Amino acid sequence: MARESWAYVKGVPVVEVAFELADGSGTLVRRLQVDTGFYGPLASFVLSQADCQAVEMLPGPFLHSLDAHGNAMLQPTAVVRATIPSLNLRTEGVAVCMATVPGEHDGLVGLRFLDEHFARWGSERDSSGNRRLWLERT
C-alpha cells in the first residue's frame, strides 16, 4: 500500500498535484488546498485561468453557478491530466477555471477526488505535533 503525506500550510490541508502540460513538454506542479465544501459531481479541481490554459487537454463543459451577489453565471472548465507520482496515480479530471483562485494556495482539490482515488485518507499529527494530510492507495 502506497502512502504519502503533506504538511498543513497556514492551518489548512494541502496536496501537491502535477498536471501534464498540454503541449507534452512536462508538468506543472501545484499545491492545492483540500476544500471540504467542494464535492461537485463534475469537477475535481479549481485552477487559475492561466494554469487551465497551460494544462488543458480538452475544453470542458461550462458549469452553471451563482456569483457572490446571487447572479447566475457560467464558469469555464478544462479536462486535465493529473498525477501524484509517489502514489502511482495518473488520472484525468475536470478543473473549474477561475480568474482568481480562492484561498492562499495554487488552487483547490475536492473531496470527490480523494474519495474516488484513494483507499483511505485523513489527517494526523507528526512527532513534532504538526498536522499532516495523508493519502493511501492500494
pLDDT at res. 64:
65
- On whether the CB atoms of residues 43 and 94 are closer than 8 A, the answer is yes
Q: How far is CA 39 from the centre of its chain?
A: 11
Q: What is the spatial distance between Cα 87 and Cα 71, in angstroms, rounded to a whole number?
A: 40
Q: What is the spatial distance between Cα 114 and Cα 121, in angstroms, rounded to a whole number?
A: 7
pLDDT at res. 66:
59
133: pLDDT strictly greater than 90: yes
CATH code of domain 2-137 = 2.40.70
Does pTM surpass 0.75?
yes
15: pLDDT strictly greater than 90: yes
Q: What is the spatial distance between Cα 75 and Cα 95, in angstroms, rounded to a whole number?
A: 10
Instruction: Kindly list the domain boundaries of the chain, sorted by start residue.
Output: 2-137
SS3 category, 51: helix
Q: What is the spatial distance between Cα 55 and Cα 50, in angstroms, rounded to a whole number?
A: 9
